[in-house]
Structure 1
Amino acid sequence: MFSHQLVKEANPILEAIFDHPFVKGIGDGHVDDAALKFYVQQDFQYLSEFIKIYASIIPILKDREDMRFFAENIDFILNSEIHPHHVFCDIANVTYESLQHATPSPKAYLYQSHMYRAVKTGSLANIICALLPCPWTYNEIAKQLTATGKNTADNPFKSWIDFYLTDDEDGGLTQKLFKMLNELSKNMSEAEINEAKGFFLKSTELEWEFWEQAFYQQDWRFADIIHGGSHHE
């Protein structure tokens, strides 16, 4: 199946995500406050664009149940996915509201541009492939941390891990999107399959890059020039 092919080819990147010091820090119960704050600043902006791209799928759909599914997940991102942000903010001892006005960093900007490029193709498979690595890798991180005994009661990140475990169900977002791709792939040419796969694999690497940029706070080198003094720390 197409979904199995995607997971197999992306697995080396997923393993690198598991080994990333930010992700390992979540498992060990300690990540520097600066990394947590940078992550929340960038992820708030990323998810705002993620919602818009989700919404772009609805006009392409024909089945009302599929429309309902994507509408419900837009609502989930808007109203529920603030919880893991609050976990990071509480640990870093900073208010969530103070981190909502950052400018997208270079890698976040690249990731957003990549997703919009998928939208411009007009292909539902391409859009899903560009979006899917986000929920997929987070669910896999949560499962891996739990399987390796890191999801303990004394880990301050426990509720963050628990939040992303909830997608590991047949009716969860990740499984639903993989199933949609399997159905779509039945009517796709080899060229279309390869194009969609490219979006999936690039997004998976960009998930690694997102952890990387947060851990090292990789912002625009010439931020003051680029933003004309409007850069937010």
Structure 2
Amino acid sequence: MFSEQLKRDAAPILTDIENHPFVEGIRDGAVSRDALMVYVEQDTRFLEAFVKVYAGALEKSKTKKQMQFFDEQIRYTLNDEAGAHKILCGIADEALEEHQNAEIRPATYLYNEHLFNALRTGQLIDIAAAMLPCPWTYNEISKKIISDSDPTNPFLPWIEFYQPEEGKVDDSMVNTLFSMIDELAEEASAAHLKRVEERFLRSCEFEYDFWDQAYYQQDWKYHLQA
């Protein structure tokens, strides 16, 4: 299956994500306030782009099943995804409302543009492949670290947020996207599938960069003046 090939090729990146100091900090219950707030701010800006790309995927869908899936994900991202941000803001003793209009940082900008490029230039399989690493890696992270977390870990609610439960980023949602890619891959050329794989792996790398950006509070070197 094409999806299994994607997972195999992305395995080294997933391992690096799981071993990233930010992710290890979540597992160990210790991440700096500044890193948490950069993450919340940038994930807010990322999800703004993500929901727009979901909407584009809905428009390019060919079957009712595909349409229903993307419609559900749009609703979830708009209405429920902020729950994870509220958990992190609670840990940092910060108000979420004060961190929802931050300037977009470099890794977020590049990741968003990567998704928009898949929407502008690709077919539905390209869009699905570019979007999938986000829910896939979060699902894998949460499954890996939940068994290692102390019951008193303040991040446990965040970890559980991404566990398989109805209405959340879970195995069924991730598996639906992988199955969609496998179905669409049957009609794609070898050259096209190579581009699809590149989009998937680039998104996996951007996921790593996103954690890195938050942990080290990376920002633009030169800020534009209004």
Whole-angstrom distance in 2 between the partners of 1:9 and 1:103: 33
Displacement after TM superposition at 1:199 (Å): 0.3
RMSD: 1.0
Counterpart residue identity of residue 151, structure 2 = A
Match for residue 4 of structure 2? 4
Match for residue 162 of structure 2? 164
Alignment of 1:45 with 2:45, yes or no, is yes
Displacement after TM superposition at 1:52 (Å): 0.2
Q: SS of the residue aligned with 2:162? A: helix
CA contact 2:3–2:179 (8 Å) conserved in 1: yes
After the TM superposition, list the runs of 4 or more consecutive aligned residues in structure 1 that deviate by more than 4 angstroms. none
Counterpart residue identity of residue 25, structure 1 = G
Match for residue 107 of structure 1? 107
Q: Deviations over 1:8-37 (max 9, x none)?
A: 000000000011000000000010000000
Percent identity among equivalent residues?
Answer: 44
Match for residue 154 of structure 1? 152
Match for residue 76 of structure 1? 76
TM-score (norm 1): 0.93
Whole-angstrom distance in 1 between the partners of 2:86 and 2:187: 42
Counterpart residue identity of residue 108, structure 2 = A
Whole-angstrom distance in 2 between the partners of 1:185 and 1:44: 31
Q: Unaligned 5+ residue runs, structure 2?
A: none
Displacement after TM superposition at 1:213 (Å): 0.3
Match for residue 208 of structure 2? 208
CA contact 2:41–2:100 (8 Å) conserved in 1: yes
Q: Unaligned 5+ residue runs, structure 1?
A: none
Displacement after TM superposition at 1:59 (Å): 1.5
Whole-angstrom distance in 1 between the partners of 2:3 and 2:146: 23
CA contact 2:146–2:156 (8 Å) conserved in 1: no
Counterpart residue identity of residue 139, structure 1 = N
Q: Deviations over 1:27-80 (max 9, x none)?
A: 000100000000000000000010000000112112222211111111111111
